[in-house]
Structure 1
Amino acid sequence: MCRWAAYLGDAIFLEDVIAAPSHSLIVQSHGAKEAKSPISADGFGVAWYGDRPEPGLYRDVLPAWSDTNLRSLGRQIKSGMFLAHVRASTGGATSRANCHPFVSGRWSFMHNGQIGGFEKIRRALENSLSDTLFDQVEGSTDSELFFQLMIGEGLAQDPLGAVSRATSRVLDAARRAGIEPSLKLTAAFSDGRALHAVRYATDEHAPTLYTGAFAKGVGRCIVSEPFDRDGRTWHEIPQSSFVTMTRDSTSIKPFAPAAVQLALAG
């Protein structure tokens, strides 16, 4: 499974999360402790926010531990909001277009998990996109397509609702195809102002997710697994949760697909 880390707070160097900690994201790319496989060697990427609304983006197909450009950029670029990801492919070629994060306008998105039976429902999901959104898809991953589904469901106006409705569309597509719905969704996304994350699975084994303070008065992180346990407290996010983090607060709400929420309300 992939590993990722997202940061929000005062501007820090990217290397402070990507490379410097004892269990940094680069270390996790070849030595993850809380994933099915310790290796995430199918590419990497970083999206960071600066003075412009749209994020900067750097992605490549090399393993994160072997790309000297990543370390160089990490030593020079400072940001108060960034998303970083190392990829362990569950489908889709190893290509730059398939590396996370994915970007659309001011939004960035990265994912750890998979849509079960994706090859059987991919066409139906693609056909449900508007022409504009379909034309934005560059790669072949279930993650990028899910991101476009979120945008189509009103991500800019209602992040929680958009993820909930997109999840429901995936599960409904599986049922219509006659297969058992299976989805693992641990994702982070941002518009440069707030940082959001979701942890959900159709079974009891959603990929791990934690929050923690980067340093007192500096910022906070949302991560697949802790990058440093010395002198730092990490809090595991419960399964079926939606996280919204701003510079002033962090909220955690229950998460369920839209159809389930409607059924409970009725």
Structure 2
Amino acid sequence: MCRWLAYTGSPVTLDELLYKPENSLVMQSRHSRLGVEPMNGDGFGVGWYDDHSPIPGLFRSIEPAWSDRNLRELSQHIRSGMVIAHIRATTGTAVQQTNCHPFRHGQWLFAHNGVINGFSTLKRALRMAVDPALYPLIEGSTDSETLFYLALTFGLTDDPPAAVAAAVGLIEDVALRHGVAYPVQGTFATTDGQRLWTFRYSSEGRSRSLFRNRDVAVLRAQYPDNPVLHGLSDDTRIVVSEPLGDLKGAWLEVPESTCLVVEDGREELVPFAPVLTTA
């Protein structure tokens, strides 16, 4: 399907997230441990925030992450305290830059691992539900970008959990009317550069994997000789499709049907359920 990573904390270079961990995102692009398939080579993308603009930087490519020399070069020089990175395994749509995650609208980023089942059948009805002012901004052909613009239509910039719940509810309602079972599968991440919202949900109740790191201060006390932990700030929060390493106790699974909200190092887990919405 795909793999993604969201980071918030003190600024780090991108290679600290994408290359250096034992099971880094670039490593997962060839050898995913928990994905539907081990290889995610249909492009990648990374979005980051800095002090120059509230609009995040965005770099996307159709090259496999493991072989893109530009990504390796840039990652050693870009520093950020809020990052979303994604490696893609297409579920049928074209391998092109506009289909690579994360997607950007203004100061917002969005990434998805999963699928809208029966999307070819549901696509017209779902896209017709997008706000007419937003519709022309859709650049690609993926179900993920459609989900993002539905969430924007339902107020993502004001209340992300409610907007994602409404978007998922609409998809499930349209799927029911078209005879498509279990339409939504996935994990989602979105941020405005200040707060991070991540979601784990599927219509079937068997979502793709999602993990968050244990409190860094606790891990530092548990592993006082681990140099990696001493390089992380106490407010570091990393949410990932699969753990970046095998350090015992470092990773906690995000529960099924849950929204995780992170701000200034504080996190909150709240139940997530779709809200019935009709087109």
Cα distance in 2 for residues equivalent to 1:92 and 1:181: 20
Q: Which stretch shifts more, 226-235 or 145-154?
A: 226-235
- Other-structure match for 2:256: 239
3-state secondary structure, aligned to 2:141 = coil
Deviation at 1:125, TM superposition (A): 0.7
- Other-structure match for 1:162: 163
3-state secondary structure, aligned to 2:198 = strand
- Other-structure match for 2:32: 32
CA RMSD of aligned residues (A): 1.4
Deviation at 1:72, TM superposition (A): 0.8
- Other-structure match for 2:50: 50
**How is 1:59-78 mapped onto 2 (pairs within 5 angstroms)?**
59-78=60-79
Q: Which stretch shifts more, 54-63 or 229-238?
A: 229-238
Partner deviation per Cα, 1:19-78 (whole Å, 9 max, x = no partner): 111110000000000011000000000000012111000000000000011011110000
Summarize the Cα distance change of 1:231–1:185 in structure 2 as closer, same or farther, 3 Å threshold. closer
Unaligned runs of 5+ in 2: 217-228
Q: Which amino acid aligns with 1:44?
A: F
Cα distance in 2 for residues equivalent to 1:72 and 1:175: 47
Q: Which stretch shifts more, 65-74 or 216-225?
A: 216-225
TM-score (norm 2): 0.90
- Other-structure match for 1:108: 109
3-state secondary structure, aligned to 1:259 = coil
3-state secondary structure, aligned to 2:134 = helix
TM-score (norm 1): 0.95
- Other-structure match for 2:41: 41
Unaligned runs of 5+ in 1: 261-266
Q: Is the 8 A contact 2:41 2:89 kept in 1?
A: yes
- Other-structure match for 1:80: 81
- Other-structure match for 1:224: 241
**How is 1:100-179 mapped onto 2 (pairs within 5 angstroms)?**
100-179=101-180
Deviation at 1:133, TM superposition (A): 1.1
- Other-structure match for 1:206: 207
3-state secondary structure, aligned to 2:276 = helix
Cα distance in 1 for residues equivalent to 2:208 and 2:247: 23
- Confirm whether residue 191 of structure 1 aligns to residue 208 of structure 2: no
Percent identity reads 41
Cα distance in 1 for residues equivalent to 2:200 and 2:30: 23
Q: Which amino acid aligns with 1:119?
A: S
Q: Is the 8 A contact 2:187 2:207 kept in 1?
A: yes
- Other-structure match for 2:7: 7
- Other-structure match for 1:98: 99
Cα distance in 2 for residues equivalent to 1:232 and 1:14: 24
Aligned length: 260
- Other-structure match for 2:275: 258
- Flag as ranges the 4+ runs of structure 1 deviating above 6 A: none
